[in-house]
């Protein structure tokens, strides 16, 4: 049956990039062998554990995740998204401003369109065809597998950076890494830098604490999520 993802919330100093010895970490969501999730707490040294991790080895998403529409399910130990039409699956655990997110991703169709969001509000979703996000939208192989993008809120707006390589191969699993530090987001796929976005007015603080997996129509799959504070 598996767990619902595990989370550790860290106390952060004003400059969170450099972990300090003795920084307390409190375990909020622990692994469970049943569908009801018990809570347990532990304290360890700074950097000893990720802030959150999830292998999706269970039958239901559980309380660590908030769905905003139909189209998300767990299959064979993966989060599968299809036909969400920009109704994200939000992680309920709030994140620090400076953070490293990594996970495995796979496009299951020729349309590719692997999508996720960073620094969002944890609740927003599309209310019209022109979706304006609450944070940054990252797309791997969007527009029928022709380009990659990091956008600030509106993927159809002007505050974007794009590239045309590398592009995903349908059916292949890729390792995604994205770092948010200060005013910069850096994104790598399988250790190769894809895009860097520098925001002169970065989305930080309250209202920009959450991560989400998102989707338009094409089937995409995600696994082995790990989130680390910086």
Per-residue confidence (pLDDT) for residue 49, from 0 to 100: 82
Domain ranges within the chain, ordered by starting residue: 58-229
Among 50, 72, 67, 98, which residue's Cα sits nearest to residue 203?
98
CA distance 165 to 142: 12
CATH domain 58-229 topology: Jelly Rolls (2.60.120)
Per-residue confidence (pLDDT) for residue 15, from 0 to 100: 37
Summarised one tens digit per residue, pLDDT across range 179-198 is: 999 999 999 999 999 999 99
In degrees and rounded to multiples of 5, residue 191 shows phi and psi of 80, 0
Q: Which two tokens stand for residue 121?
A: 């509000």
Per-residue confidence (pLDDT) for residue 83, from 0 to 100: 97
CA distance 83 to 72: 8
Per-residue confidence (pLDDT) for residue 19, from 0 to 100: 40
Q: Extract the residue ranges of the chain whose pLDDT is less than 50.
A: 1, 8-45, 48
Residue by residue, DSSP assigns 150-218 as EEES-TTSSSEEEE--S-PPTT-EEEEEEEEETTEEEEEETTEEEEEEE-SS---STT--EEEEE-SSS
CA distance 45 to 18: 13
Q: Are 95 and 211 within 8 A, CB to CB?
A: yes
């Amino acid at each position: 049956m598996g767990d619902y993802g595990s989370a550790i919330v860290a106390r952060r100093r004003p400059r969170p990039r450099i972990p300090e010895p003795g920084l307390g970490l409190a375990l909020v969501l622990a692994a469970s062998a049943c569908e009801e999730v018990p809570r347990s707490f532990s304290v360890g040294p700074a950097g000893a554990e990720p802030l959150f991790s999830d292998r999706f080895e269970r039958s239901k998403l559980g309380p660590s995740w908030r769905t905003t529409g139909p189209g998300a399910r767990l299959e064979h130990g993966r989060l599968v998204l299809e036909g969400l039409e920009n109704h994200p699956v939000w992680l309920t655990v709030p994140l620090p401003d400076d953070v490293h997110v990594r996970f495995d991703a796979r496009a299951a169709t020729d349309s590719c369109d692997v999508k996720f969001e960073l620094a969002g509000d944890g609740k927003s979703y599309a209310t019209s065809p022109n979706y304006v996000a609450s944070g940054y939208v990252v797309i791997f192989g969007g527009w029928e597998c022709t380009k990659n993008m990091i956008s600030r809120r509106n993927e159809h707006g002007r505050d974007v950076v794009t590239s045309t390589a590398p592009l995903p191969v349908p059916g292949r699993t890729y390792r995604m890494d994205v770092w948010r530090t200060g005013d910069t987001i850096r994104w790598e796929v399988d250790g190769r830098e894809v895009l860097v976005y520098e925001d002169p007015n970065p989305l930080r603080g309250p209202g920009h604490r959450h991560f989400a997996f998102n989707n338009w129509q094409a089937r995409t799959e995600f696994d082995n999520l790990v989130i680390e504070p910086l």
